[in-house]
Structure 1
Amino acid sequence: MPREQEQRHVYYDRDLKIEAYNLSGIVQKFPNHFHKFYVIGFVEGGRRHLWCKAQEYDLTAGDLILFNPNDNHYCAPLGGEILDYRAVNIPPDIMERAASEITGKPFVPHFTQNVVYQSDITQSLGRLYDAILKGGPRLEREEAFFFLLHQVLEDYAAPFDEVEIIQPNPQIQTLCSYMDEHFSDNITLDDLLTMTSFGKSYLIRSFTRQVGVSPYRYLQTVRLTRAKKFLEQGVPPIDASDRAGFSDQSHFTNFFREFTGLTPKQYQRIFTDSSTGTSRNAPVGNTGYGKREER
């Protein structure tokens, strides 16, 4: 499919504090990565092969996708088919607050499966997306959001103390914490070695096996997450790139688009009301307080 037919719409709901996005006509492969937020999505059209936490899935229209924070995954088209996809990204604090309101007790959800084939819940997700897209009344959007979460949590989630979650060993956790804190530094493999009893080859293999991504990919994903926060705050992309620790603006832009499908400028426009113009391949919307701005 020509790139001119690709469409990438992203909307931010300032009341719900979640992102809703739609990808259509997409043939792009997405490399191995993870998110720091929950993802609830579904395939509207096309077929995809998904790898997630050492499991493989063939996805078709009507399949529901559930990602916890830090669930590493990647995907590619099947048979050259284009992808149509809708999803919402939910920050952990928003998810935990909503889950606690739904259950009436402190509750940290964990999705017990990543793919649900031919799920009726996709209809609820579609209704939430449509309510955000049209800038519907706040009550309509809140109702759709809680109705969706109630269905997902009831059928496919368990609190952390009721599901076995294999954590990396303490030395690997130390490395993750160090990169989370020192993401903007020029971290080297030797720096990481000083915090473990490992050799270089074993560190890389052990980290990748336990975390699901390599140390470099982990660091770049943390940097990407930080850069997104800077962009949301109005920091110019060139400064966001530098603050997040990327080596140069070109590398930052290419990496950002590879993992999000958007350029940094296009992503930033989701959170601003005064920007004008955008790539014809990546329309971006900004929704909040019942107002919709689509470019």
Structure 2
Amino acid sequence: MRASAGYMKTQHEESADAGIKYSPAKDHSGIGIIDGTNVDHDFPKHIHHSYSLGLVTKGQRIIQTDNETEVLSANQCFIINPLQPHSCRRMGGKNHDYSVISIYLPIMQKVSREIWNKEEIPFFPKVKIIDPLITDRFSSYLYNRNNHDSNRQEKLFSLLERLICDYAVAASPGKSVTEIHPVIQQICCYIDRNLDQIIRLDDLADQAHVSPFYLNRLFREEIGIPPYTYLLQNRVKKSMEVLLETRSIIDTSSQMGFSDQSHFSRFFKEFIGVTPGRFLNQNQGGTEEFSSVSPLF
């Protein structure tokens, strides 16, 4: 359908049927699941604290890292490493569907230890995973997520074993969690503990006993995004949990340190892909089994 004369939908608007929905694991495995439907949003450069294993189920998705740009079509998988800066966008401005599971580092280390018989951090050099068996196993895991399957965790580990065996290397050739500069580890921990507080670059520099200029440069080099972006991203992630607990946009905005509801809604839309109101409407189940974001360090 063509847009009416003189009107073009902006990035801050959303399609009537666009949605981001949480489906937390019923077995308390710590595997968080996100389903995006008719996503019409382009996500700026960001990082995750966990591995992100995803499957495009409709349309196409472009993922850009510092080293590559991949176009993923329906029934193709992707994997993002912890701390790997990347952006995601639609192909040709067309909406797409996807599902993503967040897999925290201890889980991947447990699987890799059984494979390699040593303590290593799996690193995936390529984003796109073209493997019919992995796609089939992942699709089955997603499809049966709400079933009471006693072998569900075993099936997940089988999927991760295949993924690590065929596509991971031991020890990252770039940054790994344990190789982050101690000053930046300290700052990330400080930010994670104080997401609801007003934090300025000068405050962070005082914590680390370095100059603001040096800290900003070092943070960008180590993490891939500025400290303020890191703060906003993690504040918004945490606000999802608070939002589902309070069911109040106003209360969440206030509790999480946003200057007003308008700023909260704008940043929520930027990093999550839908407005807080739509997110609430699409996630009515409460937060009993919601796995909150775990600090990386």
> Using the alignment, how far apart are the partners of 1:267 and 1:165 within structure 2?
38
> Using the alignment, how far apart are the partners of 2:84 and 2:91 within structure 1?
22
Partner residue of 1:178 out of 190, 204, 209: 190
How far apart are residue 214 of structure 1 and its match? 1.0
How far apart are residue 153 of structure 1 and its match? 1.9
Note the 1:101-180 alignment, pairs <5 A. Answer: 102-103=114-115, 107=119, 109-120=121-132, 121-132=134-145, 135-159=146-170, 162-166=171-175, 167-180=179-192
> Using the alignment, how far apart are the partners of 1:54 and 1:164 within structure 2?
13
> Using the alignment, how far apart are the partners of 1:80 and 1:17 within structure 2?
33
How far apart are residue 80 of structure 1 and its match? 2.2
Contact 2:219 2:225 in 1 (8 A): yes
Q: 1:236 to 1:48 in 2, by over 3 A?
A: closer
The aligned amino acid for 2:187 is L
> Using the alignment, how far apart are the partners of 2:62 and 2:220 within structure 1?
21
2:268 is the counterpart of 1:256: yes
Q: 1:254 to 1:140 in 2, by over 3 A?
A: farther
2:41 aligns with 28
> Using the alignment, how far apart are the partners of 1:91 and 1:228 within structure 2?
18
Instruction: Write out the 4+ residue segments of structure 1 that deviate beyond 6 Å after TM superposition.
Output: none
- The one-character-per-residue Cα deviations of 1:156-178 (angstroms, maximum 9, x if unpaired) are 2345xx33343443333333232
2:8 aligns with none
How far apart are residue 270 of structure 1 and its match? 4.4
| Higher relative strand content | 1
- The one-character-per-residue Cα deviations of 1:65-91 (angstroms, maximum 9, x if unpaired) are 112232221122222232221221223
The aligned amino acid for 1:60 is S
- The one-character-per-residue Cα deviations of 1:229-268 (angstroms, maximum 9, x if unpaired) are 4456x34444444343333333223322332234353576
Q: Secondary structure at the match of 1:4?
A: coil
> Using the alignment, how far apart are the partners of 2:262 and 2:26 within structure 1?
30
Consecutive unaligned residues in structure 1, runs of 5 or more: 274-285, 288-295
Note the 1:6-25 alignment, pairs <5 A. Answer: 6-15=18-27, 16-25=29-38
Contact 1:62 1:118 in 2 (8 A): no
Q: 1:231 to 1:108 in 2, by over 3 A?
A: farther
How far apart are residue 222 of structure 1 and its match? 2.3
The alignment's C-alpha RMSD in Å is 3.2
> Using the alignment, how far apart are the partners of 1:91 and 1:206 within structure 2?
25
Aligned-residue sequence identity (percent) comes to 28
Contact 1:46 1:83 in 2 (8 A): yes
> Using the alignment, how far apart are the partners of 1:136 and 1:199 within structure 2?
51
> Using the alignment, how far apart are the partners of 1:50 and 1:18 within structure 2?
22
TM-score where L is the length of structure 2: 0.75
> Using the alignment, how far apart are the partners of 1:33 and 1:41 within structure 2?
16
The aligned amino acid for 1:157 is A
Contact 2:22 2:283 in 1 (8 A): no
2:284 aligns with 269
Q: 1:38 to 1:5 in 2, by over 3 A?
A: same
2:86 is the counterpart of 1:86: no
1:244 aligns with 256
Q: Secondary structure at the match of 1:58?
A: strand
Deviates more, 1:86-95 or 1:147-156: 86-95
Q: 1:10 to 1:228 in 2, by over 3 A?
A: closer
- The one-character-per-residue Cα deviations of 1:260-286 (angstroms, maximum 9, x if unpaired) are 23435357634458xxxxxxxxxxxx9
How far apart are residue 34 of structure 1 and its match? 1.7
> Using the alignment, how far apart are the partners of 1:224 and 1:257 within structure 2?
9
Q: 1:177 to 1:19 in 2, by over 3 A?
A: closer
2:60 aligns with 47
What is the count of residue pairs matched by the alignment? Answer: 268
Q: Secondary structure at the match of 1:76?
A: strand
Partner residue of 1:38 out of 42, 47, 51: 51
Contact 1:18 1:91 in 2 (8 A): yes
Q: Secondary structure at the match of 1:223?
A: helix
